[in-house]
Structures are given as structure tokens and as C-alpha cells.
Amino acid sequence: MEEGFVQSASQPAPVSKKMLWAGWIMSALPVLLLVFSAVAKLIKPASVVDGFVRLGYPESLILPIAILELVCAAVYALPRTSMLGAILLTGYLGGATASLVRVGEAFWGPVIAGVLVWGGLFLRDPRLRALIPLRREPA
């Protein structure tokens, strides 16, 4: 009797096309944001350099952080490694949030990006829905 419930809880319902599309759109937004941010860092306009200095980071970290953004975005964008990418992006966006809080600037951007990362992945990946069921099946 208990066995049937465990089996159904570990296998989420199939994803509807609407849910899948919503998940991919939600997932694409932070990826595009990170790619845009990384390209801006690679170009290094004065505003990017000034922003790094304002946050207390040396200009020498612009290139490594741009590469980190691109790698995290790529790992997240690939379905096979998206869960690892979400974990990496959580760390990256958490650091961005902490940096902004430390200097007293608005920190909602990285927080919203993090919600989009996990929300999009939740909608498009049945493995994550199996780990985090939002509702229980009746016994």
C-alpha cells in the first residue's frame, strides 16, 4: 500500500507543452542577461570598469568574471547539465547580490535572475519536480 505512493511521488506527471515553453522562456532570460553582461565585460567600456571599482573589485577580475558568467550560462543552458548550471548560477548570483548589498545598491536584479533560473528549470525538468514536489498525491 505504501509502495504505490512512493512510486508515484518519484515520477512526476508529464510536462505539458505550455509548461515546457514557459520553462524555456524563463530559463532563457537569465542566460541572455548573463551573456549580455559577459560581452559587456569583454568589451570593457568605462561604465563596466567604474562599476567594478565601485563594488571594490580590481579591473583585473573583469575578464575572469566574464568567462565565469559564460561558462555558468552555457552549463545551465544545456539540458544535460542544467541542474549543475543552476547550482553554479545560484553561487554566482548570490555573490553578485552580496556585492550589491555591501555597497548599498539595489540588489533585486540578481535575486530575480536566480528565481528565473530555478523557476524555469522547475517547469522544464521533471527531475527537479520529483525532488521538490509542490503538492502531495493523496494516499
CA distances from 67 to 30, 70, 87, 136 (A): 16, 5, 17, 41
Sequence-separated (6 or more) residues with CB below 8 Å from residue 70: 34, 35, 38
- Please, are residues 121 and 128 in contact by the beta-carbon 8 Å criterion? yes
Its pTM stands at 0.83
pLDDT tens-digit profile, the chain (139 residues): 444 434 445 555 667 899 899 999 999 999 999 999 999 999 999 999 999 999 999 999 999 999 999 999 999 999 999 999 999 999 999 999 999 999 999 999 999 999 999 999 999 988 888 888 776 666 5
- Please, are residues 116 and 73 in contact by the beta-carbon 8 Å criterion? no
The residue assigned the cell 519536480 is 129
